[in-house]
């Protein structure tokens, strides 16, 4: 898909709230009493809560255009509220309540980056609304921050805590109370969906508020927040240490082609695939591309090799020992996929660099950052506030019947996939093995997929993201959200999910499908038939490899 994930999310958010009368067929008008019931919520009294608006939004019918299908949505009551429980805390939430056809389900959603806005949750909210769910999102209590820049939080430790742990629980408790007031009864079931920071928010809910949700679906969760930001800073510094260090789109593509070829020779990729099936098993050194003559787009200069090696290694100490994760082979995507901010400044600083200003002040300079000296200082101040997902147990969540699904793209350069694997290994060890953990939690790793979506692999398997195009069916075999609901309602655990890649020229045409298997299983080609058909693959446990 030749557009950035961030831009697609915002586009989907716009579609979700298209103004009535904008050349789109409208759905049936809601009953007159619905408007009265909705506006009455503006006077609702809840502890520490102010309802700032409650308005009725007419529904929109589905539409087919040259750009593809645009799904509709039913009429809903749109509620915006703020919760101020302590000085310095100001958690915003938005709630969409379907006027008719509520299924008794409450659906919470996460945000991204430093949050500060509601819009990143709108695509998932629109999907929840279409399913008949009351659906909510929070700004994580960080307004007026924006997803990529959090300077507004300098000197605001209570807002750090809301962002790190508390705001999602506040959204959930308050959202459920407003839902009960509107429908006159409690929600019978609750689900949560989120990716990136929203993924972290979901894990925190499972670990520390196990009674909030019956099912939780999260993607690319930021688990170690402080080192995750340090890894972005590490990449930025590697690309900007000298004028010739940054990797152009042509050089990233060169790296990607070489990595895929290398991993194919090692048996970790299939011929014809534009992605690597098992990048964690592959060994690739970009030095094989170093120029032996004049510099050109067909080779890497010595400085570019150093940058690429830094990307793959991730942060290391002064002795070269890894302290965090680096890029996996096959994740070298050119800027057409929208991740140029890993090498280029955002607001004059590295992306997400605001976190370091919280510790060192507004005058912090990225160029003087010493990882050996300064990361212990960062963790001493922020670890207990923003790194809760690195601790805790899923045991209580599992004991009450909760179901957790995590997915992570193996070409994710922003949030290391190794974090999710380590999280599952740690939880399995604490719960007596992967078999016990698998009764309540499953991890699906998606080869070739970037952060939350996009990339060169099949990435259509989660309707809550709003993009890529909706899968050929929303059943539990093709859609993780449907699989989560089926697991929670019927006890049917997802043994495989069919991921789809659609044509970039024709949104409705399927280029390929590939099964995603629950970790530690992997998809293995049977040795016959097209590698573009999911039926020619089986899920295989490591012991059978």
- pLDDT for res 472: 62
Quick one: which of 429, 449, 427, 453 has its CA closest to 440? 427
Summarize the confidence of residues 369-395 as an average pLDDT: 97
On whether the CB atoms of residues 234 and 371 are closer than 8 A, the answer is yes
Contact, 401 vs 493, CB < 8 A? no
From 356, 382, 408, the end of a domain falls on: 382
Q: Work out the pLDDT band at 67, boundaries 50, 70, 90.
A: low
Of 187, 209, 241, the one marking the end of a domain is: 187
Reported as a single tens digit per residue, the pLDDT across 195-216 is: 999 999 999 999 999 999 999 9
Query: What's the sign of the alpha-carbon dihedral 382, 386, 389, 392?
Result: positive
Question: Whose structure tokens read 């409650």?
Answer: 54
| 287 and 244 within one domain | yes
Is a pLDDT exceeding 90 seen at residue 19?
no
Q: Which two tokens stand for residue 376?
A: 């212990």
Category of 65 on φ-ψ map: left (φ > 0), alpha (ψ -120 to 50) or beta: beta
Domains contained in the chain, number: 3
Statement to judge: residues 210 and 235 lie in one domain = no
Alpha helix ranges (H) inside 82-149: 122-130
| Signed CA dihedral, 5, 6, 10, 16: sign only | positive
Average pLDDT of the chain, as a whole number: 90
Q: Which two tokens stand for residue 299?
A: 């080779």
Query: Quick one: 305 and 395 in the same domain?
Result: no
Cβ neighbours of 504 (radius 10 Å): 11
Banded model confidence at residue 505, pLDDT cuts 50, 70, 90: confident
40, 137: one domain: yes
Same domain, 234 and 175: no
Share of the chain above pLDDT 90, in %: 80
231 and 135 co-located in one domain: no
What the block records as the tokens of 398 is 């599992």
Q: Which residue has the tokens 């660099």?
A: 353
Q: Which helix (H) or strand (E) holds 78?
A: strand 76-83
The share of the chain scoring above pLDDT 70, in percent, equals: 89
Domain shared by 343 and 245, yes or no? yes
Q: Rounded to whole angstroms, how far apart are CA atoms 120 and 44?
A: 26
Verify that 275 and 155 share a domain, yes or no: no
Instruction: Identify whether residues 205 and 246 lie together within a single domain.
Output: no
Q: Which of 138, 140, 81, 93 is nearest to 114 (CA)?
A: 140
CA-CA distance, 95 to 121, in Å (whole number)?
A: 11
Which residue, chain included where needed, has tokens 């939690």? 441
Express each pLDDT in 403-426 by its tens digit.
999 999 999 999 999 999 999 999
Q: What is the pLDDT of residue 434?
A: 75
Nearest to 443 by CA among 394, 399, 489: 394
pLDDT above 60 for 467: no
Question: What pLDDT does 4 receive?
Answer: 41
Predicted pLDDT at 57 = 95
303-348: per-residue pLDDT in tens? 999 999 999 999 999 999 999 999 999 999 876 555 566 788 887 8
User: Is there a single domain that holds both residue 178 and residue 271?
Assistant: no
Contacts of 319 (CB under 8 A, 6+ apart): none
Q: Which positions ≥6 away from 338 have C-beta within 8 Å?
A: 3, 4, 5, 6, 7, 454
Q: What is the reported pLDDT for 436?
A: 87
pLDDT of residue 31: 62
pLDDT band at 20 (very low <50, low <70, confident <90, very high): very low
Same domain, 359 and 419: no
Q: Is 228 helix (H, G, I), strand (E, B) or coil?
A: helix
Domain that holds residue 282: 227-382
Of 1-10, 261-270, 374-383, 455-464, give the lowest mean pLDDT range.
Answer: 1-10
| pLDDT tens, residue by residue, 235-273 | 999 999 999 999 999 999 999 999 999 999 999 999 999
206 and 353 fall within a common domain: no
Closest CA to 150 of 115, 196, 117: 115
Give the pLDDT score at 63.
72
- Is the pLDDT at 349 greater than 90? The verdict is no
The pLDDT of residue 500 is above 50: yes
d(CA 222, CA 480): 19
Asked if pLDDT for residue 18 goes beyond 60, the answer is no
Domain boundary among 382, 409, 437: 382
pLDDT digits (tens, 9 = 90+) for 122-178: 999 999 999 999 999 999 999 999 998 999 999 999 999 999 999 999 999 999 999
pLDDT at 1 over 60: no
Per-residue pLDDT at 221: 98
Kindly report, residue by residue over 99-126, the tens digit of the pLDDT: 999 999 999 999 999 999 998 899 999 9
pLDDT of residue 113: 94
Asked if residues 141 and 174 have their Cβ atoms less than 8 Å apart, the reply is: no
C-alpha dihedral sign at 408, 409, 410, 414? negative
The pLDDT of residue 345: 83
pLDDT in tens, 39-63: 999 999 999 999 999 999 998 887 7
**Alpha-carbon dihedral of residues 123, 127, 133, 137, nearest 10 degrees?**
-10
């Amino acid at each position: 898909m030749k557009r950035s994930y961030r831009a697609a999310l915002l586009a989907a958010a716009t579609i979700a709230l298209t103004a009535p009368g904008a050349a789109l067929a409208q759905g049936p008008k809601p009953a007159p009493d619905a408007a009265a019931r909705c506006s009455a919520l503006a006077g609702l009294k809840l502890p520490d809560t102010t309802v700032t608006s409650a308005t009725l939004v007419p529904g929109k019918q589905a539409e087919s255009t040259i750009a593809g299908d645009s799904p509709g949505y039913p009429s809903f009551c749109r509620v915006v509220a703020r919760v101020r429980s302590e000085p310095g805390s100001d958690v915003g939430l938005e709630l969409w309540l379907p006027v008719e056809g509520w299924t008794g389900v409450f659906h919470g959603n996460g945000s991204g980056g430093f949050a500060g806005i509601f819009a990143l949750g709108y695509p998932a909210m629109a999907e929840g609304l279409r399913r008949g769910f009351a659906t909510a999102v929070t700004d994580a209590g960080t307004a007026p921050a924006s997803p990529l820049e959090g300077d507004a939080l300098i000197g605001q430790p209570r807002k750090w805590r809301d962002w790190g742990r508390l705001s999602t629980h506040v959204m959930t408790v308050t959202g459920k109370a407003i839902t009960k007031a509107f429908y006159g009864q409690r929600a019978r079931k609750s689900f949560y969906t989120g990716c990136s920071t929203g993924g972290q928010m979901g894990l925190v809910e499972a670990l520390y508020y196990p009674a909030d949700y019956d099912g939780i679906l999260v993607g690319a969760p930021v688990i170690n927040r402080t080192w995750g930001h340090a890894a972005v800073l590490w990449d930025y510094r590697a690309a900007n240490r000298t004028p010739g260090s940054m990797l152009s789109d042509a050089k990233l593509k060169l790296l990607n082609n070489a990595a895929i070829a290398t991993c194919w020779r090692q048996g970790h990729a299939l011929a014809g695939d534009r992605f690597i099936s098992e990048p964690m098993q592959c060994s690739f050194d970009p030095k094989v591309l170093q120029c032996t003559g004049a510099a050109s787009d067909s080779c890497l200069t010595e400085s570019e090799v150093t940058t690429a090696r830094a990307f793959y290694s991730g942060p290391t100490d002064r002795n070269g020992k890894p302290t965090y994760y680096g890029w996996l082979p096959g994740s070298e995507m050119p800027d057409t996929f929208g991740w140029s901010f890993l090498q280029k400044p955002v607001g004059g600083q590295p992306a997400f660099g605001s976190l370091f200003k919280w510790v060192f002040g507004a005058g912090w300079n990225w160029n003087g950052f010493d990882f050996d000296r300064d990361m212990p200082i960062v963790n001493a101040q922020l670890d207990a506030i923003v790194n809760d997902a690195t601790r805790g147990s899923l045991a209580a969540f599992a004991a009450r019947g909760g179901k957790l699904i995590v997915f992570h793209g193996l070409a994710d350069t922003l949030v290391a996939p190794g974090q999710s694997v380590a999280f599952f290994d740690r939880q399995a060890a604490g719960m007596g093995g992967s078999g016990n953990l698998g009764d309540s939690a499953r991890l699906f790793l998606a080869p070739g997929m970037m952060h939350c979506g996009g990339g060169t692999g099949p990435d259509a398997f989660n309707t809550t993201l709003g993009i890529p195009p909706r899968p050929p069916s929303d059943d539990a075999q093709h859609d993780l959200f449907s699989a989560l609901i089926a697991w929670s309602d019927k006890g049917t655990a997802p043994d495989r999910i069919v991921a789809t890649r659609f044509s970039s020229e024709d949104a409705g045409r399927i280029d390929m499908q590939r099964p995603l298997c629950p970790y530690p299983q992997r998809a293995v080609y049977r040795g016959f038939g097209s590698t573009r058909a999911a039926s020619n693959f089986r899920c295989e446990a490591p012991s059978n490899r």
